[in-house]
Amino acid sequence: MSTMPPDRQKRLLLIWAIGATLVAFVFANFALILFLRLRSIQDEAPVAAMPTDSSLPTAPRPARPAWAPSPEELALSYPSLGQRSTRPLNSAFTNLTEGDVAGRYRFFHDSSAGGIITLRPDHTMLNKEGTSAPQYRWALQPDGILTKWRSATILFNDIEKPGLYVARRGDGVEYGRMEKVTE
């Protein structure tokens, strides 16, 4: 066996245990400080601004605005009541100009009155309270008039008469309506 007395062995074991504990404690603190420092550096790192202008001469101009959902997303964005139609129900939208569309409208959604809204010439909108938000946008598309609200996107894809635009799903059910106010 060992030639050291048992008291000395116990003392060396105790010193080794205390030393190993201190080294482990220092290592754990160092690892924690390093982790927190790297995490804070990532949060403070500057973000390079990416150009969002899609009007570069080499890039083709998209048919829909950047904020507008794709037809597939638009078809899936109205849950449980059927899918929206993303095709125009008549060809009159190709004859409309943005000046024809801009103006004040009585707005109805799911057969309930939503109040008077305003589609501005700069493609922003005012809600029934007369307030606007960055999300409120509209665009004249070949397949209809697309309106984007905070939590909804509505495609008015049918013209019943000039100034009266209806949003219909693929099954023909009306879920939105805009009637131009002439004052």
Query: Is the per-residue pLDDT at 181 higher than 80?
Result: yes
| CA neighbor of 178 nearest in space, from 119, 107, 111 | 107
Gap between the Cα atoms of 130 and 174, Å rounded: 25
Q: What is the tens place of the pLDDT at every residue in 13-43? A: 999 999 999 999 999 999 999 888 887 776 6
- CA-atom Rg of the chain in angstroms: 32
Q: How far apart are the C-alpha atoms of 98 and 116, rounded to whole Å?
A: 19
> Using an 8 Å Cβ cutoff, are 86 and 71 in contact?
yes
At residue 89, the pLDDT reads 55
- Using left for φ > 0, alpha for ψ between -120 and 50, and beta otherwise, residue 56 falls in beta
Domains of the chain, by residue range, sit at 1-45, 71-180
- The confidence score (pLDDT) of residue 80 equals 34
pLDDT tens readout for residues 109-156:
876 777 888 999 898 898 888 888 888 888 888 888 888 888 788 888
Place of tokens 């938000």: 133
- pLDDT tens digits, one per residue of 58-113: 444 445 666 666 655 555 444 333 344 444 456 667 778 888 888 999 988 876 77
pLDDT score of 20: 95
pTM above 0.85, yes or no: no
At the topology level of CATH, where does 71-180 sit? Lipocalin (2.40.128)
Find out whether 123 and 139 touch, Cβ atoms under 8 Å: yes
